[in-house]
Each structure stands twice: as C-alpha cells, then as structure tokens.
Structure 1
C-alpha cells in the first residue's frame, strides 16, 4: 500500500499529538509482507480494546475526540484507509474498527496505545 508523505505526516501528527509514544523497543512494527494478520495481532488488540473501552465499540472519551473500542483520536481515525466512510470511530461497525486497529498496528505497532500500556502490556 502506497501512502504519500503528506498522509504519513498527518498520521504521525495525529497520533503524536494525542498519545504518548514508546521508543522503538517492543513496538512490534510490521509492514508490507511482514504485516501482522488479524489472528496474529488479535491477542494484543483484544487486550488494548478491553483496556481502552471495555470492548465498547460506541465508547466516547469525555475529555477528548477519542472514540470507539480502540479509542481512536479523530485525526488518527480519519487518516486510516480502513475508516473510509465513517467520520468517527464510534460510528463505524466493529469490523471496520477492527480493520482500522490492525492497519494502525501494522503501521505503528502498539505505540498509539502507549498511554494505556500499564493495563494491557504483559
């Protein structure tokens, strides 16, 4: 999948603007042919989803734009290909939110969810 440098800058700004980032150690980055499949990423993403929203796909953070099961910031959500057609994560069905989480995981590892890592990281 090709992403313009503008699109990648927008993604980085959206994530960095609202979430703490981990160092490269332990991020689990994958790309291209090495991208994680849903079954490979599912245990980690399930733990993140539980910690972020108690598995609530309609969750809304009361103090930020973060919404949906994985608590996507609006800027991050809108930068993902999988989110097409949905203005906010909480409006997308579970399958779309799961696909967007996998896309973000394959691009940035677990760093977008670093702020809640004390809950889901084992």
Structure 2
C-alpha cells in the first residue's frame, strides 16, 4: 500500500497567513516561526505570535517538546482553516534572529521566483 508523501512545509511568516494570501489554502503544508504567547496543556493548543500576527496550533501529536512562554518555536504542519491548525513537527528555536530570518526568507522567495522565471524562458 502506497502512502502519500509528506511535504516539507513551505517557509512562510505568520503575516503571510491571511485570507487574501495565495498561501492561505486549506491543507497547505507550511513551516512557521513564532514566539509562544500561550500554551494550554489540557487542549495541547499553542498560540504563537510574530508581530501582530497570531496563529493557533494543535500540538497534540508532538512528543518530547517542552513549551515555555516567550520562547520562539518553529512548527511544520498542514493548515486547517477549520478546525484548529495541527503541527507535525515543532522545535524550540530560541536565539534565532527573527529579522535575519525574515530577510533570508525574502531572498529565498526572490531566488525561487527568478529561477522559475529563468527556467520558463
């Protein structure tokens, strides 16, 4: 029996996840970074923020990850518009320079756009 391939998760910022964004698609495999604002053990729901952008993440399938309010985490999972978002991978990334991370993400997107443009011409 063949299993569907697990996607790597497209690098996005929380600010990218708004209803008018092409990245805001049900089932999209995403990789996000945010500062943990709230975590509820009973529901395994984490709320992460990046600036004024907020994302609620279901962490029930994550093991061996301790959550600390104020720490920065990276999650990979599929975007479920309804119900809550569920991550399949999470890790603490305290010490990451979020400004540099955002700059490198912009450069990566520019490179990918240029590469796609050059491969079609």
Is TM (by shorter chain) over 0.5? no
Higher strand share: 2
Higher helix share: 1
Largest Rg, 1 or 2: 2
| TM-score using structure 1 length | 0.29
- Does 1 or 2 have the higher relative contact order (CA < 8 Å, sep 6+)? 1
| TM-score using structure 2 length | 0.30
